[in-house]
Chains A and B, each alone.
Chain A
């Protein structure tokens, strides 16, 4: 049995597939977020300590998870591009960065709006918050560096080095609540222990996380399609596509 592993490693053959996948994942995201919000607002009970303010977790926690996860995926593609010099890898890394930055900003924004009523402050220079802010700057740095270099292949390489060095920040964010005394609470849901929250709250949060995940895939693929067309505009297949959609 032979699997054509590299069939979709060329932009030309990946382009139509990416379009179909973006549509499907977009639809899945809509369904998952609809269900997640329903569970979050109409099934999950009021929190005994935080009242209704806790309902921010249904976007805060998934956004924070995605901010870290997307960075790892971005660094993976960037590293793959650096190692194998495949042009699609760099495009994928660039396509993920803005969506990753969006979720990092949302994690900080919603965290701030949660912190005010529960901690009494919008912001503290706590290890968790500070390392998440550094993550936002890493995304911005990656995008700015790529935008500053005209040759896309060189931009990919420079960006990849930055992305890979920045990976060190991800375990720092994840373990910050254990390593330091932080105002930010410890994880209610972790990879190693049973979650310490009501089942319906957890369900809403996990379903929303899937929704955000599917959305990220759809958005990154849509952006990857734009990047493919922009970078390969001199090629025959892009010219054909341009004529076809005219």
Chain B
């Protein structure tokens, strides 16, 4: 497929709204999922640092 120019590519034959609306939302949600997972991991680790060690000192 030869689009000729960036304008043609972005215009998607007049279907730009539908095509890019699909792709951008997909990309956005996938990035959001990855960010949320990274934040979740970070909060678990922060929790461990705060409470994990305290509980262990209490064991002794």
Q: Residues of A at under 8 Å CB distance from B?
A: 41-46, 51-53, 55-56, 59-60, 63, 98-99, 102, 105-106, 109-110, 113-114, 116-117, 215, 219, 222-223, 225-226, 229-230, 233-234, 238-239, 241-243, 245-246
Contacts and interface: CB of A to CB of B under 8 A. Distances in A.
Interface of B: 1, 3, 9, 12-15, 17-19, 21-23, 25-26, 29-30, 33-34, 37, 40-41, 44-45, 47-49, 51-53, 55-56
A98 B52 contact: no
Given A43-B1, A53-B15, A117-B15, A239 B52 contact: yes
Given A46-B13, A56-B18, A222 B37 contact: yes
Nearest to A221: B37
Contacts of B51: 233
Given A42-B3, A113-B22, 12 more contacts: A46-B13, A51-B15, A53-B13, A56-B19, A113-B18, A113-B19, A114-B18, A222-B41, A233-B44, A239-B53, A242-B48, A242-B52
Nearest to B50: A242
Q: Is the interface of A mostly helix, strand, loop or mixed?
A: helix
A230 B44 contact: yes
Nearest to A29: B30
Contact of A55 (B12, B52, B53): B12
B33 A219 contact: yes
B14 A51 contact: yes
Given A226-B40, A239-B56, A51 B48 contact: no
Contacts of B13: 46, 51-53
Given A60-B22, A106-B29, A243-B53, A42 B1 contact: yes
A116 B56 CA distance: 59
